[in-house]
Amino acid sequence: MQHIIDRFISYITIDTESDPNSHTTPSTEKQWDLANKLVEELKAIGLSDVTIDDNAYIMATLPSNVDHEVPTIGFISHFDTSPDFTGANIKPQIIENYDGKDIILNAEQNIVLSPDYFEDLLMYKGQTLITTDGTTLLGADDKAGITEIVTAMEYLINHPEIKHGTIKVGFTPDEEIGRGAHKFDVEKFGAEWAYTMDGSQVGELEYENFNAAGAKITVKGKIVHPGYAKGKMINSMYYASEFINALPRLETPEHTEGYEGFFHLHHIEGEVEQTTLQYIIRDHDKTKFEARKALMQKIVDDLNTTYESEVFTLELKDQYFNMKEKVEPVMHIVDIAEEAMKAVGVTPLIKAIRGGTDGSQLSYMGLPCPNIFAGGHNFHGRYEYVPVESIQKAIEVIVKIAEITALKK
């Protein structure tokens, strides 16, 4: 356990926050700090063909130790952290034998991690938790995943009696800003299928995710002196509110769950002359997803007709699609993960992701890639935590997947 804790903390204390406004890959120079460390660590534990390209994509190989043909599989995680909350100067706290009560993250600022609000904490009574100090995120998304992959490979190297085929390891930048797979070389990686270690609570196994698009609505107005504005001024902010109110009010993140899709207004910038609205559109069902995009276009067209001018313009851009379409034809890769979980005493929790992972894009790039739990909770904020026992179980799942794959016909 201490080895796992030390490795995880060595990763999270390196700031790797990505930047959606950057056009480079990686989007921040500081991601190189952890990337270069990982390259040296992969070499040190004994992996082969360890490479890092000009965009900080890392790949490595654990050669097969069996004399028969076995599918080459992969495990993938990302090393950037979310720009939603600072990842600089992380000061982790280790809570041993958690008693099920409130955890004081920061007494000075009265920041408390409480099971009264985060009831999942009660699943981990008696376990060892790693939390923040309340002023940063933790980075378990997805440095727990990296810890699990590196440690599992180290374990397999040190235990050659466990039979496995060729295993590929991949670490990516910029997943948190939707670019983690954009420059991933699937052909070079050379796996028949892979798993992202990027889920949340212990047991999660996911092969469905949202279809996703981004929308930008630009509203044009006219500014004139307010004292002489009658019949002349067009206040774009008022017009923008009409668009907002035309969308279904209850089809938003705070009112939906499970397979329910949504429209999410995440950014407004406005003045009289021009207002911009930025939305994300999400739905698991492809038909409903297309209907959501069509609804946005219809609202824009109707409002332009009402005002007899091109006041509103809409830019729509697809971001990623539901990996289910690419994974279902090869469902044995999900079955193997499920079997591995059960074999190490983990109850599989098969569910749809209300989001996306590198795996969704990689699946459409020719690398079917379900998602497995990494163990953390409350990602992207000050209340993030991870049970060390969940990291341990994820390591066991990786090892068991490798073992089962080598035994399958």
Query: Which CATH number do you get for residue 58?
Result: 3.40.630.10
Binding-site residue ranges for Zn(2+):
78, 141, 176, 198, 380
One domain for residues 153 and 47: yes
Q: Which residues pair with 77 in a beta bridge?
A: 171
Cα 77 from chain centre: 9
Q: CA 125 to CA 134: how far, in whole Å?
A: 21
Is the whole model's pTM more than 0.85, yes or no? yes
Q: CA 45 to CA 62: how far, in whole Å?
A: 10
Q: CA 280 to CA 293: how far, in whole Å?
A: 10
Q: CB within 8 A of 386, min separation 6: which ones? A: 8, 129, 130, 138, 140, 144, 374, 375, 376, 377
| Separation in Å, CA 182 to CA 149, 186, 193, 321 | 21, 10, 17, 14
One domain for residues 80 and 155: yes
One domain for residues 288 and 255: yes
Q: CA 192 to CA 208: how far, in whole Å?
A: 19
Binding-site residue ranges:
78, 141, 176, 198, 380
One domain for residues 385 and 291: no
Q: CB within 8 A of 192, min separation 6: which ones? A: 71, 72, 73
Write the pLDDT tens digit of every residue in 318-337.
988 999 999 999 999 999 99
Q: Which residues pair with 327 in a beta bridge?
A: none
Residues of the chain with pLDDT under 50: none
| Residue 139 domain boundaries | 2-209+322-407
Give the pLDDT of residue 77.
97
Give the pLDDT of residue 178.
84
Active site residues: 80, 175
Q: CA 303 to CA 301: how far, in whole Å?
A: 6
Last residue of a domain, one of 300, 320, 340: 320
Number of domains forming the structure of the chain: 2
One domain for residues 83 and 205: yes
3-state SS string for the chain: CHHHHHHHHHHHCCCCECCCCCCCCCCCCCHHHHHHHHHHHHHHHCCEEEEECCCCCEEEEECCCCCCCCCCEEEEEECCECCCCCCCCCCCEEECCCCCCCEEEECCCCEEECCCCCHHHHHHCCCCEEECCCCCCCCHHHHHHHHHHHHHHHHHHHCCCCCCCCEEEEEECCHHHCCCCCCCCHHHHCCCEEEEEEECCCCEEEEECCEEEEEEEEEECECCCHHHCCCCCECHHHHHHHHHHHCCCCCCHHHCCCCCCEEEEEEEEECCCEEEEEEEEEECCHHHHHHHHHHHHHHHHHHHHHHCCCCEEEEEEEEECCCHHHHHHHCHHHHHHHHHHHHCCCCCEEEECCCCCHHHHHHHCCCCCCEEECCCECCCCCCCEEEHHHHHHHHHHHHHHHHHHHHCC
In this structure, what token pair is assigned to residue 219?
């509203």
One domain for residues 185 and 144: yes
For residue 341, which phi and psi values (nearest 5 degrees)?
-60, -50
Q: Which residues pair with 279 in a beta bridge?
A: 215, 265
Last residue of a domain, one of 298, 320, 342: 320
Last residue of a domain, one of 269, 291, 320: 320
User: Which amino acid is it at 309?
Assistant: S
One domain for residues 11 and 49: yes
Give the pLDDT of residue 298.
98
One domain for residues 314 and 274: yes
One domain for residues 295 and 330: no
One domain for residues 105 and 126: yes
Give the pLDDT of residue 409.
60
Here the CATH number for the domain that contains residue 246 is 3.30.70.360
Query: By the 8 A CB rule, do 124 and 100 touch?
Result: no
Give the pLDDT of residue 146.
98
Write the pLDDT tens digit of every residue in 51-62.
999 999 999 999
Q: CA 374 to CA 151: how far, in whole Å?
A: 13
Write the pLDDT tens digit of every residue in 328-364.
999 999 999 999 999 999 999 999 988 877 899 999 9
One domain for residues 119 and 190: yes
One domain for residues 238 and 205: no
